[in-house]
Amino acid sequence: MNKMEELLILVNQVLEGNGSVAIKSIKETDKLREDIGFDSFDLAELTVRIEEAFEVDVFEDGIIEVISEILDKINGK
């Protein structure tokens, strides 16, 4: 499983938990709020799940808005 697929699972865990429908795919250009529909609580949950899975605090030094920014952090860029 690549990083993108792992990330999709985490995004769907947040979506299904808040009563939304799981999505089939994500793109690097997807925006977390506009395209995926996250609010601030969802964003917080996602950062926690990413930290558990990848041991990276994606929010550490700035705001994350797009999927590609998360991938950069996970890949240590």
Partner 1 sequence: MENKLEEIFYFNFKENTKLSYSDVLNHVIQVENIETNYSFSSTKEFLLNLIASLYYNTNITLQDLNKVSKNEKSLLRLLDVNRPSSFKQLLDGINKSTAKIILFTSGTTGQPKEIKHSLSNLIREVRIGKKFEDNVWAFAYNPTHMAGLQVLFQAFLNANSLYDVFEHPKDEVVKILGKYGITNISATPTFYRLLVPMKHSVLSLRNVSLGGEKSDANLHQRIKESFPNAKILNIYASTEAGTLFSTSGKYFKIVSDKSELVKIVEGELLIHKDLLGEVNKNEGNIETWYKTGDLVEIVNAKTNEFIFTSRKNEMINVGGNKVNPSEIEAVIDSIEGIEKAFIYGKPNSILGNMLYARVQLKNKDLTEIQIKRILNSKLDNFQIPRRIEFVESLSLTRTGKLKRNL
Half-sphere exposure of 64 (CA within 13 A, CB side): 26
Nearer to partner 1, 2 or 52 (CB): 52
- Nearest of 65, 58, 14, 62 to residue 35 by alpha carbon: 65
Site for partner 1 in 16-35 (CB under 8 A): 16-19, 31, 33-35
Nearer to partner 1, 27 or 31 (CB): 31
Among 5, 28, 41, 75, which residue sits at the site for partner 1 (rule: CB under 8 A)? 41
Phi, psi of 66 (to 5 degrees): -125, 150
Residue 56 DSSP code: -
User: How many Cβ atoms sit within 10 Å of the Cβ of residue 3?
Assistant: 13
Q: Which stretch binds partner 1 (CB under 8 A): 2-10, 42-50, 67-75?
A: 42-50
Give me the residues that bind partner 1 (CB under 8 A), please.
13, 16-19, 31, 33-35, 37-41, 43-45, 47-49, 57, 59-60, 62-63, 65
